[in-house]
Amino acid sequence: MSRFISPKRFEGKVVVVTGAAQGIGRAVAERVAAEGADTVLVDRAELVHETAAELAADGASAFAVTADLEQYDGASAAIDAALARHGRIDVLINNVGGTIWAKPFEHYEPEEISKEIQRSLFPTLWTCRAVLPHMISRRGGVIVNVSSVATRGVNRVPYAAAKGGVKAITAALALEAAPYGIRVVATAPGGTEAPPRQVVRGPQPEGAEEKAWYQQIVDQTLDSSLMKRYGTLEEQAGPIAFLASDEASYITGSVLAVAGGDLG
């Protein structure tokens, strides 16, 4: 657990974290739960129930929901489940997404392009739409989206397009939501070290050519970072938690790059 925990920072707040079964999403859920939030963890992987159980065993308030956020019905059901559990949502942190394939754009099949967009754009779009009426009715709330500095990166054009869309959602929705006291912000992570995924995003590179394409991503990620390294899960969770908190009350419409100096 982070040495930078701010006890009670989210006390009395209901925080929904999507993509919470593993990776950055799990790290964020652990962080806000440790800081007093009533945390709702959402993922389509059943693993999310184990994650919530581990947090609860440590004394945190954690409740898990399985849902396919690539579809509006799934996003709506997840938000409804959080409301049924707690009666309100103060913060929504949208973390679902991730590259499925890594290759030059001319090698993508049309259906692969569609799947990349479906994976990394629509979960944020749908959950924002699902939670917005509730936040408007309460005249307040925070939405933190997770984009990526890979909007300027090699061998991931469809993913870059999706994450660019997340940045656009953040900017445009912040304009619409501000009159209701709702903040909409985002981070743009760079390369991040994480344990091996228990639920993989897509096929692993096969053959020399595919492995070389993936290595180009690694090399470009390191070259673009002024610090010449990958970040940690803690280094990603901290800025997300800050933007979600009342400490960031005068920040909206902004995208914070968290990538060692790579601005994307």
Q: Which residues are catalytic?
A: 159
Residues sharing a CB contact under 8 Å with residue 60, sequence separation 6 or more, in sequence order: 33, 34, 39
Query: Residue 90 and residue 187: Cα distance in Å, rounded?
Result: 18
Query: Residue 236 and residue 95: Cα distance in Å, rounded?
Result: 11
User: 230-253: buried (b, 16+ CB within 10 Å) or exposed (e) per residue?
Assistant: bbebebbbbbbbbbbbeebeeebb
Query: What single-letter amino acid sits at 220?
Result: Q
Helix (H, G, I), strand (E, B) or coil at 224: helix
Alpha helices in the chain (DSSP H): 23-34, 47-57, 72-86, 110-120, 122-138, 157-177, 207-224, 233-244
DSSP 8-state secondary structure symbol assigned to residue 192: B
Residues sharing a CB contact under 8 Å with residue 201, sequence separation 6 or more, in sequence order: 98, 99, 100, 119
The DSSP bridge partners found for residue 248 are: none
Residues sharing a CB contact under 8 Å with residue 176, sequence separation 6 or more, in sequence order: none
